[in-house]
Amino acid sequence: MKILIKNGHVVDPKNNLDAAMDVLIENKRISKVAKSIADKADQEVDAAGKVVCPGLIDAHVHLRQPGFEYKETVETGLRAALKGGFTGVCPMPNTSPVSDSRSDMEFLLGEARRLSLIRVWPVGAVTLGQEGKELTEFGELKKGGAVALSDDGRPISNSNILRRALEYAKKFDLVIMVHCQDEELFCGGCMNEGVVSTRLGLPGIPVEAESAEVARDIQLADLTGGRLHFCHISSGKSIDLIRQAKSQGSRVTAETCPHYFHLTEEAVLHYRTAAKMNPPLRTAEDVAAVKRALRDGTLDILSTDHAPHSENEKDAEFDKAPFGITGLETSLGLSLALVKEGVISLKELIDKMSAKPAGILKIDRGHLSPGAPADVTVFDPELEWTVDKKEFESKSSNTPFLGKKLKGRATDVFCDGRWVMKNGKIA
């Protein structure tokens, strides 16, 4: 089977491509990328006016299965990711029961194979039951398919446990992904601590609840030489610490999410639970710091932290509603705003959403090299659309971006050479 993608603008940061080119897929792999390909193909895609890039990768999602299927399932989560232009996602282990064994990793991979939509790269728990007490079997998790380890959703408060985890993970070249939250400073807070929390009469979460853990974790990464990845960084203080650590050679990487460069704490005015997340939305100064860090590379990648919840759960008093928002179907449109604002280039954006996540996870994806598996995303950067929950593939619609007009959307997606989304419709 040959598929020829013609007339598109190919952007492949790893191979330094940023030009009008054609892409030929043959036998599930990239066969050729060139200015004009005359080969006859079984199927042709006219990508005129569109960007053709390596398949997008989301290194941080919550698919909720097993245990919380009323929020999301592997199937609905992967359909949402596909609609958003992703060819692979990394589900976090905070399910019920916690995904902390080899069989849990194999379950996720089996579901992905059964559904035949896009790829899943599981993240295994660092500690049994995510209780922060006893390390899981890292080697068995890797054999089962885990590409990283995390207790995301919970911090690893015990410094010695995190130290041992970083040392143990080195043996298997696995990265530890950390949710930075000082529990004593967090102390039941439900939004950013500041003027807005005072006005609303809600308990706040100080920036230091994040940055204090970031500072500790950098020291532990330096002590052990282990690879550490910071999840969903939200504040300028944390960014300053990470920037300094990188300049001194620390083996740390970091991500942020679209909500942290689009919204401030004022989005929760009127007790709007759709904008309640953890870490919380911060100030305009923090938003500016996030954008600077994306520009200078302090923040390596963009993830969604896709965290679906039911309407009943979110339709509660603000302090009782769960943290988290969905993001898979809006991420590309929201992130392209960075390019339009001149914060980063299109090539840099695609790098942060494909090649760099693949590099952190040590998976051979995120490029269009001849012979590589044909994971390809095609998107129209000028396509205008409105975020409408009726169009969502996700089971949940807990996002503060409902009704927002966005520009830029995936139209076609190829995973392992299969044309899995055609003209915005899942095949």
Q: Are 298 and 243 in contact (CB under 8 A)?
A: yes
Angle made by CA atoms 23, 362, 129, in degrees to the nearest 5: 130
Euclidean distance between the first and the last CA atom of the chain, given in angstroms as a whole number: 17
Per-residue DSSP letter, 264: -
Q: Rounded to whole angstroms, how far apart are CA atoms 55 and 375?
A: 5
Set 100, 217, 305, 380: catalytic member: 305
**Beta-strand pair 119-120/86-91:** parallel
CA 219 from centroid of its chain's CA atoms: 25
Distance CA(324)–CA(322), nearest Å, equals 7
DSSP string, 306-357: B----HHHHSS-TTTSPP----TTTHHHHHHHHHHTTSS-HHHHHIIIIIHH
- The verdict on whether 305 is a catalytic residue reads yes
Of 399, 406, 387, 411, the residue nearest 338 (C-alpha): 406
Both tokens of residue 260? 């942290």
Coil, helix or strand at residue 159: helix
* Residue (of 49, 4, 56, 3) closest to 367 by Cα position: 56
CB atoms within 10 A of CB 140: 16
Catalytic machinery residues: 305
